[in-house]
Structure formats: C-alpha cells, structure tokens
Amino acid sequence: MWIHVIVDVPTGQTDHPFTYRVPAQWQASVKVGVRVHVPFGIGNRLIQGVVVALDVEPTEGFEIKDIAAVLDEEPVLTVEQLWLVEQLRHQVFSFKIQLLKTMMPSLLQSQYDKLYQATEKLGSDDCQRFFPNGPERQASKMNPEELAEIQKLVAKKQVEVKYLALDQASLKYENWYRSVPRVLESLVISKQAKRRLEARDYLLQKSDEGRLVDFNKEFSSAISKYFREVGAIEVYSKSISRSASFFEGVESTQPPVLNPQQAAAKRLILGHVGEKKTQPVLLEGITGSGKTEVYLQVIEQVLKDGKNAIVLVPEISLTPQMTKGFIARFGHQVAILHSGLSAGEKYDEWWKITHGQARVVIGARSAIFAPLQNIGIIIIDEEHESSYKQDNNPRYHAREVAQLRAQYHQAALVLGSATPSLESRARASKGVYDFVVLNQRANPLALIPSVEVIDLRDHRTTKGEQTISPPLLEALQETLERGEQAVLMLNRRGYSSFMMCRVCGEVDTCPNCDISLTLHLSTRTMNCHYCDFRKGIPQTCPNCQSQDIHYYGTGTEKAQKELELLLPEARVLRMDVDTTRKKGSHEKILAKFGQAEADILLGTQMIAKGLDFPNVTLVGVLNADTGIHLPDFRSSERTFQLLTQVAGRAGRATKPGKVYLQTYNPDHYAIQYASKQDYEGFYREEMRIRKMAAYPPYFYTVALHFSHKDPKLVEKIAYQALGTLRQFLSPNAILLGPTPSTISRTHNLYHYQIMIKYRQEPRLEAVLNHILEISQTKEFQAVRLTIDHEPQ
C-alpha cells in the first residue's frame, strides 16, 4: 500500500506530496488526514507528515521509503480541509504544510514537539507507539511526574478523577462506620468516625458526585478510601471539557420579534442556504440596527433544518457579552474559539466540533477552519475588520476561506457590517453579492446619536494641546450629573508618544527600530511599540545633554491623569494593551463598567467595537486624526470605520446619545461623513479617489516585503525581484517600488517593499511562486521574503 504525504518541511522543493509505503502493521490505522512519522532526507531523520491520499500508484524511479508510524487514531484534518489547502495555495503564498498546521489545534503540535524532545528519556508504551524507530529508549531516565505529563499529552483530553455516591442505603445504614475494633469505638467515634459521619451527610445532602480532589480537600483521602472499600462510593475518571466554565450561569433568552427590516433580511439570507453557486449576502446595518439578532434567528432556523453554523467576529468583540448572547440561545451546542483560550481549551472545543457535539462555532479569524460538518451558514460580523486577514504566514483572509467553504457546503455566506469594506460594498453594487440594508435602530426608542465635530485649533491654549476641550468637558460633567456613563477613545497608548529636545531637535528613538520611543509613566520607561525595547526615562537630551527636553503627543495614560484632575469625582477605567495583558482583564474591565462601578471608560480602539451598554450616552473621540495621515491608501476608510463604530456606542437604549469628535482636520471627508454617519456618502467619495489612484476595489494588489539586517543587500535583492516581475507581467501591471517600508527598520531588520497593482495577470501566480522558491536559495542571500496577496 502506497500513500501520499505532505511532510513538515516548509520549502518550495517539498511543497508537494511524497509517496511512502505502508508496512502491514500500519495498514489498518492509516487514514486520510492522520499524521504519520516518516523518514526524510539523506539522514532519514524522522519527521511529521500529513496523509493526503491513500492507495496511490508508486512513483517510478524514486526510492520509496516506509512510514515509521501512524501518529493519530482519528484524522486530525478533514477531507474538506485538505481540499481547502489546495484551493488556498493559489492565493496564499506560503507552503501547504503551513496551511495544514494552521488548521490543526496547536496542542497537537506542542504535544508532538514535547514527545519528540522526550524520546531520548522515554520507555513507555505510548512513546513506542509514537516513535517505534526512534532513538534508544531509556525508561529509567524519566521520573513519574514527567511520565504523567507525557501521558496526559498523549491522552490529549484533560482527565479528572470523580467520585459518585453509589449506594444510598449503605450510606444511611447507621452502623456501617463502626467497622473498628469495639474497644476503640468510643475513641474513634469522637474523631475519625465523626468525620466519616460528616462526610456521609455531605454526600447525602450536598453532592453525591464531584471531583475527588475536592472531596479529599474537604475531608481526607483516608475517608474517601474507606468509603470506596465499603462500596459507598465509586471512583472513576472522566475526561472533561476545559472550556466548560463559559457556560456557567448563562440564562437562556427568548428571541424578540424581528422588526420588518430584520425579518426581510432573515428571509433573504435563508433563501441562500443550499444555493448551488454561492452568492454572499452583504448585510449593511447601522450600529444598533439589530444585525446580531438577525444572525441569531437565522441560525436558529438553520439548526432546525439540521445544519450547522459558523460565526466569525473580530477577536476583540469576543467579549463575554457577545459569546453569552449565543450561549443564551444555543446553550451547549456552541463552541468558542479565540486566542484567549489555552491550548488545552482550544483542543477541547476542537474535539467537540469534530465529534459533532457543537453545532454553532463562534470565533475569531482562525475559527473559519473549524472542522464543522454539514455547514448551512457562515456569518462574518464586522466584515471590514483588517484582523480577518492574518498578518503573518499563512496570510489568508477569512472571507476568502469562508467563500470556499460556503461553496463546498452550499451554505449561505453573510458579511455583516455598519461600514462594509469598499471591496464588499462595490461587489454588492455590481450584483456579485446579494445586498440587504438595515437603516433603523432595532430598538425603536433608540435614536441615532447626534455628532458634533470640535475643531481643536479653536481650543489651543498657551500650554499647548488640550486633551479635553471645554465643550467635551462640559458634556462629561452633565453626563455624570445625570448618572450616565461616557466612553472616551484615544487611539494611542502610553503617556506621551515621543520625546524631543528643544535645543538640538533630537527625538529619542529605538535602537532596533526606526521609530520614536513612547513614554510610559506607569512603568517609568521609554518603550518601543514594535520590538518591546525598554529603557529608563532620560533626564537630559541623549544627543546634546540639554535639559530642555519635552514630551509630545498625548496617550491614554496622560489622558487618564488629566481626567482625574479635571473631574476628580469621576471614576475612570482605562482599557488598552497595557491594562489588558493579563488573561481575563479585558472582561473584568468591561464587567466593572457594565455594573456601573465606573463613570468613564477611556481606551484605545479596543473600546470601539461591539460594546452594548445602555447607560452610555456620551462618546468622545479625543483625537480623531491619529490614523488619518498614515501613508496607506486605506487610512481614510479605516478612520471613517473607527469613528462610526465608536459613535455607535452612544445612546443604544432609550436615552439619547451624543458624540464629540475632536480633530485638527474638521474638513477632512472621512471626519465629515463619520459625523453625519453617512456610509453611502463616504463610499461614493472614496470610490472616486480609489478609481483615480488605481487602488482596490478597481485594482487588485499584491505586496512583496523584503527584510534583512543589511539595507544595501535588501535593496539589491528587491530590485532583482522587480526585474523578474517586469519580465513576466504584462505592461498593464503597475509596479511600485522597491521603496523602504513605512517603518523602514524594526528588530534591526531593514524592510523594502514592492507593490503590484493589476487587473488581470494570468502569469502572476506562477511568477510569484517562482520568486518564492528562489527566495529560499543562495541567490537571495538570506533576505527574507513575504508575499502578501491583498495586503491590509
């Protein structure tokens, strides 16, 4: 028997299946989608691989080796996932094995790595299963704890020892504890037997089932041992789901009656379930229009019809608020996947999905690969979010994967947003996507908030820039007096964004990156936001030693200090990367704010998305300009989206909301349209500009990034690649660069980029693969290349 295996060697030369022979002992266990251990290369080193086809013809003229072992009892990849890899390989310029590994739970990889490291020490049967041809095993070298750790990994599931009260009758029997010598009875009853009696009552009244460790903690292991011996309890192991805590204390909710717009959207979407040729639906609905409710009720129907659902939300919106909403409707049928979970928790959710125990998968970007079967609908909420594109290899876009999966399952695909990406909105105009609009707030009493633009140039004082202008301060005071809450956004963390010497003009920059250091007062350090370099706060100019140094640019830390001075009574919560590093801290801050333990929530763009707090009536954007002048053709689109999102946090229930946008560019069209909450107006204006400048959605784009510690070399190699592109592409392709990237150096590496803009280039995929392959040879002199299809 011969099979095809994709080996775990990410290079161009190995990016295709290799043929292996399966010895008789493995023939029953080898399946498509399992991992195998195979000898590879000249030294026949054992490496991991994935079986992609069975019963293939042996290749002529090549030596065919035997697989060493099958690593999984059940496939860890589905046939659909293997198909997806083949499809994605056309647009994602990384190797198949990288795509395959992205689809597997990370626990499997870390398990493999740990086992591999442990081989030299191991003697257990488990490891023999994994590494039958591995190095000489020496059992004696492994201590019991290490062995237990490995066994847990092999078991993959977390196992818990439980007890169960078996025999109520024997528990009730008065004298069963008196199996002690008569002479000692009185003595024993006063101590040990008294404890046994208490333990008995505990079992009878409190819980007749639970974790043995809890019972032992409450009583003792001697007591549980005794109870076992007399047959009063049974002890057994149970594999438990590590993510079970998500489901605790969530009360189920009844679906509200949809308003006519929502009902129409639901009908339209359901009409696409089972469609032969996928036509995605763009659901454009203003903030608070009840898109989430539409998703919930559409899914309810899909489940009733026996099919399953995937819902993608941006990572940051995966707040308990959002997940609870889904659990409240669908209970234990929900699986949740996001980066906040431990590898074990992710594995358990994955296991639930592969074993058909989950029917609604809700998660961030990578959840699009969830091995869910029989999919009826895929929903991508906030579809415009750039986080749906992975920004390291493999650089896939969840929307593209969703489109493929929808096609595979004949499922409906819904893209929802208040501010759709220009690409999606343009496709809706052309009829490529079906299109449905919700233009009213779902709650008829909730009005669209009114927005006021504040020109910061009118409020400059002798002391320099003002973080909170007088009109915003007044509005804050009024809001707090009414007992309502405010959300303030400042999309810049730290205290000050840079230090400059007023004598020589020196700006304190990172030694590893071409970027200024940010002052953080909480840690008393100057930090680089790219490479995490830190140093003490300088007292004098690092260049001329002058003491006349000054800090510019307000970050969230400083804004918090200023708020405390201006509004000493106000309770302020700050939410940014620095206050949410610890697991669960994000949720804690939001819970506190939701329970009215604070008046003002101040944060970076983290706070713009998904929050639904009825008592928030004021939203202030302290500096609407932070992203507007970035050298990126999407900077206006991103600014418009962010401002619209954050404005949507105000007045979501019955109280009217008010939004203040502070800006130095009050006439900029992104700010103007955001202040009118006019997506369609913005869309038309931005499309005009994109057309003029030949950018998406009128042109497709690919970016090539080159990096190396030698700037001359990286430039030279980039020019060579440009030559190759010129040679193969049509004269209609527009090639920009090579130019140094916006931040020309990070982590001591210099970055160059080439941007390709094109409409139709049949040879593009081939030439890019060609360059990718060369990039791994001597010709590139270790310059690192990444190819980014539709860069964000």
Residues contributing to the site for Zn ion (CB under 5 A): 501, 503-504, 506, 510, 512-513, 528, 530-531, 533, 541, 543-544, 546
Q: How far apart are CA 24 and CA 1, in angstroms?
A: 8
Rule CB under 6 A: choose which of 285, 314, 376, 555 binds ligand ADP.
285
Using CB distances below 5 to 8 A depending on partner kind, what does residue 122 bind out of Zn ion, ligand ADP, none? none
Contact between 470 and ligand ADP by CB under 6 A: the answer reads no
Burial class of residue 391 (count of CB atoms within 10 Å of its CB; 0-12, 13-18, 19+): exposed
- Which residues, other chains included, contact 371 with Cβ-Cβ below 8 Å and sequence gap of 6+? 77, 78, 80, 81, 103, 350, 353, 354
Residue 212 DSSP SS3: helix
Contact between 317 and ligand ADP by CB under 6 A: the answer reads no
Residues numbered 118-177 forming contacts with ligand ADP, rule: CB under 6 A: none
Contact between 292 and ligand ADP by CB under 6 A: the answer reads yes
Using CB distances below 5 to 8 A depending on partner kind, what does residue 448 bind out of Zn ion, ligand ADP, none? none
Using CB distances below 5 to 8 A depending on partner kind, what does residue 203 bind out of ligand ADP, Zn ion, none? none
Contact between 290 and ligand ADP by CB under 6 A: the answer reads yes
Q: How far apart are CA 749 and CA 740, in angstroms?
A: 11
Q: Which is nearer to Zn ion, 447 or 507 (CB)?
A: 507
Using CB distances below 5 to 8 A depending on partner kind, what does residue 749 bind out of ligand ADP, Zn ion, none? none
513 is in an annotated binding site: yes
The alpha carbon of residue 437 and the mean position of all alpha carbons in its chain are separated, in whole angstroms, by 28
* DSSP string computed for 42-102: TTTEEEEEEEEESSPPPPTTS--EEP-EE--SS-SS-HHHHHHHHHHTTT--S-HHHHHHH
Site track for ligand ADP across 365-404, x = CB under 6 A: ----------------------------------------
Residues numbered 427-456 forming contacts with ligand ADP, rule: CB under 6 A: 442-443
By CB under 6 A, which span of 128-136, 229-237, 252-260, 626-634 interacts with ligand ADP?
252-260
Q: Which of 145, 169, 321 is nearest to 231 (CA)?
A: 169
Q: Which of 161, 148, 108 is nearest to 351 (CA)?
A: 108
Burial class of residue 286 (count of CB atoms within 10 Å of its CB; 0-12, 13-18, 19+): buried
Q: Which is nearer to Zn ion, 263 or 577 (CB)?
A: 577
Rule CB under 6 A: choose which of 41, 132, 256, 656 binds ligand ADP.
256
Contact between 287 and ligand ADP by CB under 6 A: the answer reads yes
By CB under 6 A, which span of 24-32, 178-186, 290-298, 572-580 interacts with ligand ADP?
290-298
Question: Directed axis angle between helix 260-270 and helix 291-304, to 10°?
Answer: 40
By CB under 6 A, which span of 234-242, 284-292, 331-339, 694-702 interacts with ligand ADP?
284-292
Min dist CB 39 to Zn ion, Å, is 43
What does each C-alpha distance from 596 to 279, 445, 589, 647, 748 come to in angstroms? 44, 22, 11, 20, 46
- Mark 170-186 as b/e (b = at least 16 C-beta within 10 Å): ebeeeebbeeeeeeeee
Label the pairing between strands 485-489 and 450-455: unpaired
Contact between 289 and ligand ADP by CB under 6 A: the answer reads yes
Q: How far apart are CA 792 and CA 388, in angstroms?
A: 10
Using CB distances below 5 to 8 A depending on partner kind, what does residue 612 bind out of ligand ADP, Zn ion, none? ligand ADP
Site track for ligand ADP across 558-597, x = CB under 6 A: ----------------------------------------
What does each C-alpha distance from 237 to 155, 229, 344 come to in angstroms? 12, 17, 18
Q: How far apart are CA 697 and CA 424, in angstroms?
A: 9
Contact between 612 and ligand ADP by CB under 6 A: the answer reads yes
Using CB distances below 5 to 8 A depending on partner kind, what does residue 289 bind out of Zn ion, ligand ADP, none? ligand ADP
- Which residues, other chains included, contact 577 with Cβ-Cβ below 8 Å and sequence gap of 6+? 493, 604, 606
504 is in an annotated binding site: yes
Contact between 293 and ligand ADP by CB under 6 A: the answer reads yes
With residue 171 as reference, give the H or E element that holds it: helix 168-172
528 is in an annotated binding site: yes
Min dist CB 325 to ligand ADP, Å, is 8
| Structural contact between residues 744 and 750, judged by C-beta atoms closer than 8 angstroms | yes
Q: Which is nearer to ligand ADP, 259 or 617 (CB)?
A: 259
Contact between 677 and ligand ADP by CB under 6 A: the answer reads no
Q: Which of 638, 652, 623, 779 is nearest to 713 (CA)?
A: 779
The strands making up 496-501's β-sheet, listed across from edge to edge, are 534-536, 525-527, 518-520, 496-501, 549-554
Contact between 555 and ligand ADP by CB under 6 A: the answer reads no
| Binding footprint of ligand ADP on the chain (CB under 6 A) | 256-259, 262, 285, 287-293, 442-443, 612
Annotated binding site: 501, 504, 510, 513, 528, 531, 541, 544
Annotated binding site for Zn(2+): 501, 504, 510, 513, 528, 531, 541, 544
